[in-house]
Amino acid sequence: MAMGSGGGRGEVNSEINVTPMADVMLVLLIIFMVVTPMLQKGQQVELAKTRNPVDMKEADRDDSVIIAITRDGKFYLGQDKVNVDDLAAKVNDLLATKLEKRVFVKSDSRAKYGDVVMVVDNIRNAGVDQIGLLTERMDDQVRK
């Protein structure tokens, strides 16, 4: 009696086993789904949609100064909640060592217009002359 695998003549299976590949792809998909929301810089708001926005690549840099205004009237400098009266001093401190004094404002589309104006005024009082208002590109389907 001989010990063997029961295959008889030592047949080789020539079919590709895709199960490990599918497992790896599912793990990668889950990793990307978990990490992608963490890549958002600053407080997340629903931006106003515009037809022809100007691309502002500088807003994606790690050292960019972004102020967020939520629909319920809260103000965030990066991830930190700030009082609107303290905003000018904190922005001034952040931009003290930079040559290019540029601040980006992203406001929720349902935020009060007066809150946005108040933030822009405080930024201007801090000595910033370049302010970028961040928006989202409107899709073709939304235009119709």
| Contact between 44 and 69 (Cβ < 8 Å) | no
Structural domains in the chain plus CATH codes: 49-143 (3.30.420.270)
Tell me what the mean pLDDT of segment 88-104 comes to: 86
pTM for the whole thing?
0.64
What is the tens place of the pLDDT at every residue in 59-76? 877 778 889 999 898 999
pLDDT for the residue numbered 56:
82
Distance (Å) of CA 133 to CA 61, 80, 105, 117: 16, 19, 5, 11
What is the tens place of the pLDDT at every residue in 9-63? 777 878 888 888 899 999 999 998 888 766 666 667 778 888 888 888 888 777 7
Task: Compute the CA torsion angle 25, 28, 30, 35 (nearest 10 deg).
Answer: -160
Classify residue 135 as left (phi > 0), alpha (psi -120 to 50) or beta.
Answer: beta
